[in-house]
């Protein structure tokens, strides 16, 4: 940041009123370049690039010397300007150094006539000389008519546009948009995006915005598809000020800053300080009440907008949900294990909420659990390990690591009940819970509608290879049961079974569960999808070997298990290779699995046919009862 002087005074500027003793001296500029030059990442040719910003950097009297220094060091620069500069400055911009220009482009009425003509002339000349030019559209209450900037992009042949909403100035009452304002202008933003995309313009989001203000799910998905929105989650901007101090960003300048860049050896140290200071606003502050269960927040796609706005206007701040004087009983849960182990916690969470209906249940989960906990009404606050913001200041914390108890050896009851014991609750219902959305279910129905008798299958286990059946047997099963369409779910790295419909790696965990729900039957080994039939009520066939169906099986499934002397061994061997070459799995024949699938699908079919017959019978009886010949006239 070469200076803070500017020859324009935009009413939305979040830098207006910021003062430093002086602009950056050429000597300090040289020192900063030398500091960058000793960083490891800066040695790579493609990483040797900086931005020269301000204020208006073209006002700096030493700009020519700075560009020459960059040329000597083989460093590329992008200049951020308002394009209102003396035409003689054009001679300073050496194409060997200056990659291009990014500049604010406001409506015509915001400029004096001479300023507007000079700006247009400079832009045209920069384009003629072959520089990349990108406009920046700043959305404010008084700047919602975006047609002027789309027209300017078309006029200058620009196919890339940067945009952002206006943010608060820490020292000056500028024209910015708070969260309620964003809700009101969200439709305008979406219309702008759609029209820009229709004109073939690529869009870059400068600073973050809450996704939900854009409209419905279709609008959000359109935005995510067509906008380069890497900044939906704030990352530290390495902005070095004229006095060599650094801010995370100017709206957060008072809270997140360092005094001198030279006090640090690398950028990582600076990022760690900035990230730590921003954790509360990022992870604990909800912009709106619905942020709690929002899938985009849970998946770390959206942080709920500007951190400066969150600190001042967020729902969390307004309602003081994170206050130390919180009246609700706070209960913390730390989950453990694979996806299946996360699913097994859900009945205990429901029981805990029923036991303490006025409590606030906060969960720290593994990254692979966050998707299955989405929309769960028993969870009030969720964070993903190693981020433990959910259980900060919570005194009562439960651990769900039932694995350390070696359950297949020491217990003769289901894993859900063991976890319930750890959480000190009694289960009324052992049914697992995943709250699918209507859209997820509709997508699954649409996929399965192409197949007559779809059976979902999952053949691998992340826990242990010893739990897996053999690919050639899966292939024989699919070939012999030709009247069914087998749909293989799982990771894209799973071995493909020949003759099946390949859906490996093409679904999320939730979408895979939705496919199980709407299939005729599920068949697979003891894995996370082996729990899906219990969630969805789908008939299931699960193959057990080293693990115990007493602990991990379900009564409504057909659990195929060979009770050998060496089994169950999962809590002894873990992921180590079986010395008996998985004899327990080898003893399971294709015929057993075939019969089990037929039993499950035909039982379901028989039930459906019985229901249809009873409905038909009741209709006939009703009609007979309505027509009594003794009461009818001839």
DSSP letter string, 9-47 = --TT-SSTT---SSPPPHHHHHHHHHHHHTSSGGGSGGG
Separation between Cα atoms, residue 16 and residue 174, nearest integer Å? 8
Bridge partner residues of 456 (DSSP): 487, 522
- CATH classification code of 438-601: 3.40.50.2000
Separation between Cα atoms, residue 356 and residue 328, nearest integer Å? 10
User: Is the bond preceding residue 456 a cis peptide, omega within 30 degrees?
Assistant: no
CA angle (550 as vertex; 549, 556 as ends), nearest 5: 70
Write down the pLDDT at residue 607. Answer: 53
* Three-class secondary structure of residue 552 per DSSP: helix
Q: Are 586 and 603 in contact (CB under 8 A)?
A: no
CA-wise closest residue to 5 among 79, 13, 14, 16: 16
221: Cβ contacts below 8 Å, ≥ 6 apart: none
Does the domain at 26-278 match CATH 3.20.20.70? Answer given as yes
Q: Which residue has the tokens 């097994």?
A: 344
User: How far, in Å, are 31, 100, 102 from residue 24 at the CA level?
Assistant: 11, 22, 21
Q: Are 190 and 166 in contact (CB under 8 A)?
A: no
464: Cβ contacts below 8 Å, ≥ 6 apart: 546, 570, 573, 574, 575
| C-alpha dihedral sign at 438, 444, 445, 446 | positive
Identical fold between 324-422 and 438-601: yes
76-81 and 485-488 strand pairing: unpaired
Separation between Cα atoms, residue 622 and residue 400, nearest integer Å? 55
CA-wise closest residue to 365 among 414, 332, 396: 332
Question: Domain 324-422 adopts which CATH fold?
Answer: Rossmann fold (3.40.50)
Alpha-helical segments (H) within 163-314: 179-198, 217-226, 267-279, 295-298, 307-313
Structural domain boundaries in the chain: 26-278, 324-422, 438-601
Tell me how many helices (H) and strands (E) the chain has: 22, 20
User: Is the bond preceding residue 591 a cis peptide, omega within 30 degrees?
Assistant: no
Write down the pLDDT at residue 231. Answer: 72
Separation between Cα atoms, residue 80 and residue 15, nearest integer Å? 14
Mean pLDDT by 10 residues, the chain (634 residues): 87 74 88 92 91 92 96 96 94 95 93 94 96 95 91 95 88 80 92 96 93 94 92 78 87 86 88 86 87 89 90 74 59 96 98 93 93 93 87 91 95 97 95 94 95 96 95 97 97 96 96 97 97 97 97 97 93 92 96 97 64 56 51 40
Q: Is the pTM of this model over 0.75?
A: no
Separation between Cα atoms, residue 122 and residue 84, nearest integer Å? 8
Strand order in the sheet with 239-240: 239-240, 246-247, 257-258
């Amino acid at each position: 940041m070469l200076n803070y002087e500017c020859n324009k005074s935009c009413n939305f500027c979040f830098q207006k009123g910021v003062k430093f003793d002086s602009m950056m001296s050429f000597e300090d500029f040289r020192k900063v370049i030398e500091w960058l030059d000793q960083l490891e990442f800066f040695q790579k040719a493609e990483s040797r690039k900086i931005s020269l910003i301000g204020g208006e950097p073209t006002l700096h009297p030493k700009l020519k010397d700075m560009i020459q220094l960059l040329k000597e060091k083989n460093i590329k620069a992008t200049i951020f300007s308002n394009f209102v500069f003396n035409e003689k400055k054009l001679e300073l911009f050496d194409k060997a150094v200056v990659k291009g220009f990014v500049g604010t482009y406001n409506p015509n009425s915001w400029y004096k006539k001479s300023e507007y003509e000079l700006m247009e002339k400079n832009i045209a000349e920069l384009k003629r000389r072959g520089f990349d030019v990108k406009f920046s559209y700043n959305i404010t209450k008084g700047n919602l008519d975006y047609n002027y900037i789309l027209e300017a992009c078309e006029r200058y042949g620009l196919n890339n546009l940067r945009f952002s909403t206006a943010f608060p100035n820490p020292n000056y009452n500028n024209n910015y948009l708070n969260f309620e304002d964003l809700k009101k202008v969200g439709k305008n933003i979406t219309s702008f995006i759609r029209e820009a995309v229709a004109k073939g313009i690529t869009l870059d989001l400068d600073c973050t915005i809450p996704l939900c203000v854009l409209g419905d799910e279709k609008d959000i998905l359109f935005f995510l598809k067509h906008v380069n929105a890497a900044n939906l989650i704030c990352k530290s901007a390495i902005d070095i000020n004229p006095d060599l101090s650094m801010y995370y960003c100017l709206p957060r300048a008072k809270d997140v800053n360092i005094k001198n860049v030279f006090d640090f050896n690398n950028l990582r140290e600076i990022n760690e300080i900035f990230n730590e200071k921003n954790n509360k606003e990022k992870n604990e502050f909800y912009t709106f009440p619905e942020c709690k269960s929002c899938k985009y927040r849970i998946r770390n796609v959206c942080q709920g907008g500007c951190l400066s706005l969150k600190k001042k206007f967020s729902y969390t701040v307004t309602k003081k949900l994170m206050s130390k004087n919180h009246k609700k009983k706070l209960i913390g849960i730390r989950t453990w294990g694979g996806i299946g182990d996360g699913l097994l916690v859900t009945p205990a969470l429901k029981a805990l909420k029923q036991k303490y209906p006025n409590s606030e249940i906060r969960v720290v989960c593994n990254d692979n659990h966050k998707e299955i906990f989405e929309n769960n009404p028993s969870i009030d606050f969720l964070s993903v390990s190693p981020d433990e913001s959910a259980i900060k200041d919570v005194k009562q914390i439960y651990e769900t690591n039932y694995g350390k108890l070696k359950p297949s050896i020491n217990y003769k009851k289901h894993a859900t009940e063991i976890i319930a014991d750890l959480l000190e609750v009694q289960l009324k219902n052992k049914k697992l819970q995943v709250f699918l959305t209507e859209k997820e279910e509709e997508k699954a129905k649409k996929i399965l509608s192409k197949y007559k008798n779809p059976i979902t299958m999952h053949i691998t286990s992340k826990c242990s290879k010893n739990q897996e059946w053999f690919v050639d047997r899966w292939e024989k099963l699919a070939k012999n049961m030709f009247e069914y369409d087998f749909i293989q779910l799982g990771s894209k790295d799973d071995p493909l079974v020949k003759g099946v419909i390949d859906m490996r790696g093409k679904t999320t965990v939730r979408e895979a569960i939705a496919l199980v729900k709407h299939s005729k039957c599920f068949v697979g080994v003891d894995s996370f999808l082996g729990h899906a039939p219990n969630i969805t009520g789908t008939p299931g066939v699960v193959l057990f070997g080293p693990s115990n169906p007493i602990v991990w099986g379900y009564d409504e499934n057909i659990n195929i298990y060979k009770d050998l002397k060496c089994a169950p061994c999962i809590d002894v061997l873990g992921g180590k290779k079986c010395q008996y070459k998985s004899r327990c799995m080898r003893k399971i024949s294709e015929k057993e699995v075939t019969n089990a699938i037929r039993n499950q699908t035909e039982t379901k079919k028989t039930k459906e046919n019985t229901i249809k017959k009873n409905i038909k019978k009741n209709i006939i009886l009703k009609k007979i009862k309505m027509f009594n010949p003794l009461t009818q006239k001839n």
